[in-house]
Amino acid sequence: MRQPLSIFNFKNPKCWCVLFFLVIFIGDRVIAQVLKTIVNQSQFRYSKLYGQTAQSDFLLIGNSRGLVFHQPTIAKLTKKTTINLSYNSMPVDLACAIMKDYFDLYPAPRCIFFEITMLNYNNKKLISNFMMYRSSANIKKLVERNFPKLNWWCNFSHIYQYNGEVLLRTLYYMFKSDQDWALRQQANISQVKKNINNMERFRYQAKQEDLENLRDLVKLVKSKGSDIKLIIQPLFPGFVQKIKNFNDWKQRISKFTGLKIYDYSQIDFPDHYFVDRVHLNVSGAKAYAKLLYQDGIFK
Check binding of 37 to another protein (CB under 8 A): no
Provide the minimum distance between the beta carbon of 11 and another protein in the complex, in angstroms, as a whole number: 6
User: DSSP E strands: which ranges in 29-140?
Assistant: 58-61, 82-84, 111-115
Check binding of 186 to another protein (CB under 8 A): yes
What span, in angstroms and rounded, lies between the C-alpha atoms of 230 and 62? Answer: 10
Strand partners, 232: 263
The closest of 44, 91, 28, 60 to 228, measured between CA atoms, is 60
What is the separation of C-alpha 220 from the centre of its chain, rounded to a whole number of angstroms? Answer: 19
Provide the minimum distance between the beta carbon of 16 and another protein in the complex, in angstroms, as a whole number: 6
Provide the minimum distance between the beta carbon of 180 and another protein in the complex, in angstroms, as a whole number: 15
Provide the minimum distance between the beta carbon of 183 and another protein in the complex, in angstroms, as a whole number: 9
What span, in angstroms and rounded, lies between the C-alpha atoms of 244 and 122? Answer: 19
Q: Residue 160 or 293: which CB sits closer to another protein?
A: 160
User: CA 187 → CA 37, 117, 181, 273, distances in Å?
Assistant: 39, 21, 17, 9
Report the chain's terminal Cα–Cα distance, integer Å: 88
Do 132 and 167 form a contact (C-beta atoms < 8 A)? yes
DSSP class of residue 113?
Answer: E
Provide the minimum distance between the beta carbon of 15 and another protein in the complex, in angstroms, as a whole number: 9
Check binding of 174 to another protein (CB under 8 A): no
The closest of 271, 6, 220, 9 to 95, measured between CA atoms, is 220
Do you know the residue count of the chain? Answer: 299
User: DSSP E strands: which ranges in 11-81?
Assistant: 58-61
Q: Residue 10 or 248: which CB sits closer to another protein?
A: 10
Check binding of 202 to another protein (CB under 8 A): no
Residue 23 falls in which region: left (phi positive, over 0), alpha (psi -120 to 50) or beta: alpha
Q: Residue 213 or 281: which CB sits closer to another protein?
A: 281
Check binding of 169 to another protein (CB under 8 A): yes
Check binding of 184 to another protein (CB under 8 A): yes
Q: Residue 116 or 127: which CB sits closer to another protein?
A: 127
Please identify, among the stretches 79-87, 95-103, 184-192, 209-217, the one whose residues bind another protein according to the rule CB under 8 A. 184-192
Q: Residue 189 or 267: which CB sits closer to another protein?
A: 189
Provide the minimum distance between the beta carbon of 24 and another protein in the complex, in angstroms, as a whole number: 5
What span, in angstroms and rounded, lies between the C-alpha atoms of 298 and 111? Answer: 8
Please identify, among the stretches 22-30, 45-53, 138-146, 287-295, the one whose residues bind another protein according to the rule CB under 8 A. 22-30
Check binding of 70 to another protein (CB under 8 A): no
Give, as ranges, the residues between 117 and 156 that touch another protein (CB under 8 A).
153
Binding site for another protein (CB under 8 A): 10-11, 13, 16, 19-20, 23-24, 27-28, 31, 153, 157, 159-160, 162-163, 165, 168-169, 172, 184-186
